[in-house]
Structure formats: structure tokens, C-alpha cells
Amino acid sequence: MRRKTRALVLVMTCGCGSDDGDTAASAGEGTTGATTLTTADASTGVPTSDASQDVSSGVDSVDGSSTGGGGGGGPVVPCGDDGTADPDEGIICFYDVINPGTEPAATIEHSVGMFDGQQALYIRLTLAPWFCDNTYGVNAIGWPAPKGHKFKDLTGSDHAEIHLKDPTEQTVFHFKTDYLTEDATSPSGFKCLGVWGGEGEMIAGDESQILGANSSISRNLNDRGYAEYIVDSPATDENYTPNADTPDWDYRMIYEVWIALDGFTDLPVQACIEFIHASPSKEESNTKEVVPDECPPGWGCYNTDMQCDECEDYVDPDLGDLCDPTDGIPPEG
């Protein structure tokens, strides 16, 4: 029986390189504000710009319709899927190879929208809170002794490796994207450096087609105005109840990437995630092999055209209030 994890559904906002908190969309709006990346800082190679634009996560596709909603033909499918087998709810679930009966170890949410005047594929990789999260210091939740979880752990080797292939299973992009690295130009002194620094790097593909990248901890510290939380995270409980002092803090570990759509010669894009990594993780191993499989009923509901009341009918009511962005699963889009 799979584990149920409540909460952890605050919506992401703003793109890597943005230090302007007022560009962030508020939690629950379903949009992702992104920094327009047009030039590169000579010292870091990280694209920078003072412009910003909203990119919708799951609702603002090229033709104006939802990229989710079932029926196949989505822009991103699991590795080895030619697009006919995936029902496409705008989300792909990945399970622990050794213990596949648990709740998904990671998910990829995806959509197509506009980024700085370009059509862009948006990918958001979220790791399960039972594997790792954005709690640390005296307020760490579920981190076993003696290792616990410290803020500096997030600036170590944490990264996500994402491998994208075309329908013939030929590699188009393969890269590592950074989680958090010291950066004197950001409000907190730390930020996500995407594929351009820190633990990020291009393994294969055209780097110029990567338009932007971000992480949930970088958003928390820089875009949401919580720059002082670099020792202890905001206090919460095992249900990740929002703290009144930091209501927009996202406790999930999330990686985001925006890629120029014309960087792909054909769709659907196959997303190949072979492992997830966090150092440390809450599990015995810091690296966990994963495989794609069907998501639990209702996951991806927010990536469809369903209204809240329809979502509630569609999903097991024991999973929480799906119209409340601070409770329940599936993760909202």
C-alpha cells in the first residue's frame, strides 16, 4: 500500500536568476513567473536579466488549451513511451526500484507555454518529502539522527539529472541542474545556478536552448523574501502546516527548467529519470534508483481542465481538501 503524504502543495514562482520578489506569483494561482534569461554574467556564466514573464504550469499551452486532461499526446512522456501508452495528466510518476509499492519517489510535471516571447517546454521535478525536503536546522522534520539536516547540506552535491530524448529515443538534452550555491548577488547570498554553475552542467545538447532554471529553496530565500532563513527553516509540523510568518515557504525539494521548444525536432519528449539524489536524504541511501509507472488515482488533477468540485469527485476524499493549496495530494499544477 502506498504512503500518503499530505500538504506540500504550494505553487512555485519566479525563475533562476531573478532577485525581484515582486515578480513572484502568489501560492495557489497556478502560474510560474520566470526570469527572462538574455545575457550571461561573465564570472558565473549564469544568464541574467531584469525582465520577467509569467509561464503557466499546465494551463497555458501553445494552442491556449490545457496540456493535461487525459487522452494522450502530451508534450512529455516516460522514457520508452512513443506517446500512445501515456494517458497524460500533465504529470509522470517515478517509483523506488527496490520498494515500488510506496508513494511516488518523484514526479515530473510538464506544460508548454511562452517564455520571453519563445515557445518553451516547462519541466518541474519534485522529490517526495519522505526522501528529502526543505526543512533543516532545529526545525528539521523527519530527518533521522544523528545526521539530521543542515542548511549547508543544500549547497553541497544536491542536483537533479534530467535526460530528454526524442520519439526515436535519441538524446536531445542531458544535463544536471543545480539546487543551491553561494552567490553574493542574491538577497540571501545563495541561489540556484541551473546548468550554468554549482552542481549544474550540460552533458549533451545545446546549452543556449536552456532558457531558465530554478529550485524551490532558491525561490523561498530570494523571490519570497525569506532570505534570513539560512540556519533554521521556518517551523512546521509533520503535515508541513504553513508557518504564519512564512506562509509561502515551499517545503518540497523542486527543480524547474524551461527549454526552448524549437530545441526539439519532434514531440513527444521522453523524460528519462534513472535516479534521484539528495545529500543527505532521509533514507539510508542518498541516491535512489527510480522507474516510471502509473500515478496514483487523481495525481495531476490540477493539470486538467477540472474545476475544484470535479477534482474532489475524482480523487479519494481521504487525500485531503483538493481546493485548499495547503492540504492534500495530488500536487497542484
**All three cell numbers of 116:** 520571453
**All three cell numbers of 187:** 538577497
**All three cell numbers of 330:** 495530488
User: HSE-up of 188 (CA within 13 Å, CB side)?
Assistant: 28
DSSP 311-323: HHHHS-GGG--TT
318 vs 55: CA distance, rounded Å? 32
HEC letters along 92-123: EEEEECCCCCCCCCEEEEEEEEEECCEEEEEE
pLDDT tens string for the chain (333 positions)? 333 332 232 222 233 433 333 222 222 222 232 333 333 333 333 443 322 223 322 222 222 222 222 223 468 888 887 665 555 567 888 999 988 777 899 999 888 888 888 899 999 999 999 999 999 999 999 999 888 999 999 998 999 999 999 999 999 999 999 999 999 999 999 999 999 999 999 999 999 999 999 999 999 999 999 999 999 999 999 989 999 999 999 999 999 999 999 999 988 899 999 999 999 999 989 999 999 988 876 665 544 444 444 444 444 444 444 444 333 333 333
**All three cell numbers of 177:** 541542474
Of 236, 196, 248, 269, residue with least CA distance to 21: 248
Q: What is the pTM of this model?
A: 0.75
The sign of the dihedral angle between the CA atoms of 257, 44, 253, 134 is negative
